[in-house]
Amino acid sequence: MKALVTGATGFVGGKLVTRLLEKGWKVKAFVRRGSSFSKLKKEKNLEVVVGDISDFDSLKKAVTGVDVVFNCAASLPYHNLPKRKYWEVNVDGTRNLMVACLMNKVKRVVYISTVGIYGTTSRKGKSEKSKYKLTDVYSKTKYEGEKIVWKYIKKGVPVTIIKPTIAYGPTDTRPGFLNLFILIKKGVYPLVGKGNNFFHTIYIDNLIDSLLLAATKKSAVGEDFIIGDDPCPTMGLIVETISEIQGRKPKAFYLPIWLAYLVGILFNLLQYAGLPAPLTTRRVDFMTQNKKFIIGKSKKVLGYVPKISLEEGLRRTFKWYKEKGYL
């Protein structure tokens, strides 16, 4: 089997490339010019292809001769890009990909969307059938991109849509979990609210398992699946587990949500000025809102079973951060 992985130097894309090679796949790694290729180990079955998902010609060429396309490319919230960049990658890029796959009659496409299009949840959680709640340019553009995918599914492109919860794990140097580990190591973590809100995670290996199932299960074609760990942890449990793993007893002080918002508004202004902003209003929402999802469909139809527990996933992540000098 030969696969194309877009966004191959990213957190998810890089892990997926490694797993595919381990399983004997031939892989085309689609990367932007200027990306660091050092994240991709030199392998005889690996071909690095330079291009851009917003450039149809380079994408069309990359898709040629592959059996499966994994779309891991996306403009993410923490990138802090101009709005037009989110539209170029998450919408126009998705359209380019679908057209290229249709033209080349690709056997399977695995498209990574996000649970972010559902917004916040109740404590019961949301499923694939829940209503969307679009709150920012990221969720809006991912929603528009997903609409394009559904359009091409109707045209006969064999696509499976994967909607991961909040991913983490070794090699993840994005701000979220890394900052959390660092703060807890220092012994102080500002826990906004009471920490009893659900915060649905997914360990990277569990996510990669789901992508491989989506690429090989016949029952997955034309379906969308929410993918997450099981059970869904609370923010308080995550903080407590990281603390135990690091052998720390952080002096977690509980900041009332209304006060955190006031502080966040001030930091928003600093962020707009290009200055460090440790507690923006977006981050307050991120830490306090319920994010719980129902993964029953992925278990029943896709055969997905999360193998790595929260504790084990956080231990592996801590070990990697420590080995690489982040902690």
What is the per-residue pLDDT across 274-297, written as a single tens digit (0 to 9) for each?
655 566 777 777 777 899 999 999
Between 166 and 33, residue with greater pLDDT: 166
CB atoms within 10 A of CB 317: 22
Q: What distance in Å separates the CA atoms of residue 244 and residue 69, rounded to the nearest whole number? A: 40
Helices within the chain (DSSP H only): 11-22, 56-63, 83-87, 93-103, 137-154, 175-186, 204-216, 235-246, 257-272, 281-288, 296-297, 310-323
Joined tokens for residue 142 = 């991912």
Query: Using CA atoms, how far apart are residues 305 and 30, in angstroms rounded to an integer?
Result: 29
CATH number for region 2-172+200-232+292-307: 3.40.50.720
180 or 21: which carries more pLDDT confidence?
A: 21
| pLDDT bucket at 270, cuts 50 / 70 / 90 | low
Contact (CB, 8 A) for 323 and 154: no
0.85 exceeded by the pTM? Answer: yes
In tens, the pLDDT along 108-123 reads 999 999 999 999 899 9
* Domain range annotation of the chain: 2-172+200-232+292-307, 175-195+235-288
The answer to whether the CB of 186 falls within 8 A of the CB of 243 is no
Q: What are phi and psi of 8, to 5 degrees?
A: -70, -15
- Residue 300 dihedral angles phi and psi, to the nearest 5°: -75, -50
Q: pLDDT digits over 92-146, tens only?
A: 999 999 999 999 999 999 999 999 999 989 999 999 999 999 989 999 999 999 9
Alpha-carbon separation of residue 55 from 21, 60, 112, 170, 302 (angstroms): 26, 9, 19, 31, 32
pLDDT averaged over every residue in the chain: 90
Q: Which pairs from 78-83 meet CB under 8 Å and 24+ separation?
A: 78/174, 78/175, 78/176, 83/137
pLDDT > 90: percent of the chain: 70
Annotate 177-236 with DSSP letters as a single string: HHHHHHHHHHT--EEETTS-SBB-EEEHHHHHHHHHHHHH-GGGTT-EEEE--SSPPBHH
